[in-house]
Structure 1
């Protein structure tokens, strides 16, 4: 029952274990590999602990070489081997997720402020900026150029990719990829003030062929995701910003 309750927390719109694109899939796979590695390491350590606890110690000095070998192999060689393998795999997967310019990559600018997201589409002529709704084409890599107007925020769409900080005066780039059209959800994952709880956004992935037309039809600078406060609704007092 405890396991079922824990597994119940692995679903939902913000679940990193329910990927909808290759970047998010790599993150989920890395998580499972790290979990498996940690289970193996824990099992080995517990087995060695049980062996040390239950074995009968011989008398005299003959036990000393056995104890040294036990510490060397169980406490040094085994953890180094397991952790090195996990580190190597993490670096391999992480390198594949780095955003690099390439053919077919679309650029979108994400500008964070207390407490909303503004998205601009420099690679799509005639497209106006949107607020709290990010439009992307499905089946195409999208590089999000993230920055901030005030404090440090964090851009995160769990089912489409990793997270990256939005830092004032600096631009970070993260790549998203949606396998199929659909609606996904993101949020600011860095506490940024009293309005942090409402600083979320929606990602709408559209069919690639119809993406320009769909984006042109959304030319409303004040467009806001349905479940977020509208610009004219009460927001936290700016004087309370942290």
Structure 2
């Protein structure tokens, strides 16, 4: 039995890392989401242990709790017990969710992410309007506003290690503020079923050092233009 548990844990741990893992964050928003997940898991585990403890007491000690009226069991077991765990979890989730919203009064650099079956095109209005396809370039350590839209059906923009997802809706622009902590290569994808090619609608995210970002973007845009020719 112990070996089976150990093997089960070992088989699930690799899923906590990797290019599409929300539990291996690389930005402040991603870290907040990962922390929220761990807090929710802890709360759910506590609630599970409390319920299983009551269940085992009933099995191992027949007649235990017989002196408590059914109405009191409903109140204590159905309202008070879950409320002790769930109310703090809901409060924490609301606070964490509020912290993910873009703060007013500060306008960071913008990148436009335009979805179309089954590619992503990224425009950089603050860098002469150059564009890249299926490769998003951004500087490290700098908040970036991603302006997400679609040219056909509903898609969803998602970089799991940076932030939560946001829908790409035709005729509408949604804003997602993200920040990458360190340079590197990451992965993003469409997270809304958008047709037969949905599974392949992925993109790379290249995070450059701030002082190297403009040059790296210029090289990528030039290479993009050469491929179109």
CA shift for structure 1 position 127: 4.3
Classify 1:213/1:102 alpha carbon distance in 2 versus 1 (closer, same or farther; 3 Å).
farther
Q: Any residues of structure 2 matched to 1:62-141 within 5 Å, and which?
A: 63=66, 65-103=68-106, 105-124=108-127, 126-141=128-143
Q: Any residues of structure 2 matched to 1:181-196 within 5 Å, and which?
A: 181-196=183-198
CA RMSD in angstroms, aligned pairs only: 2.3
Corresponding residue for residue 169 of structure 2:
167
- Scaled by the length of structure 2, the TM-score of the pair is 0.89
Deviates more, 1:139-148 or 1:190-199: 190-199
Deviations along 1:28-49, one digit per CA (max 9) or x if unpaired, are 1111111111100111111112
Deviations along 1:152-189, one digit per CA (max 9) or x if unpaired, are 11111111111111111111111111001111110111
Structure 1: gaps of 5 or more residues: 225-229, 233-242
Aligned length: 223
Corresponding residue for residue 22 of structure 2:
16
CA shift for structure 1 position 132: 0.6
Deviations along 1:26-82, one digit per CA (max 9) or x if unpaired, are 111111111111100111111112223343438xxx946444333321221111221
Corresponding residue for residue 227 of structure 1:
none
Deviations along 1:191-232, one digit per CA (max 9) or x if unpaired, are 1111112211111111112222322232238369xxxxx889
CA shift for structure 1 position 83: 1.1
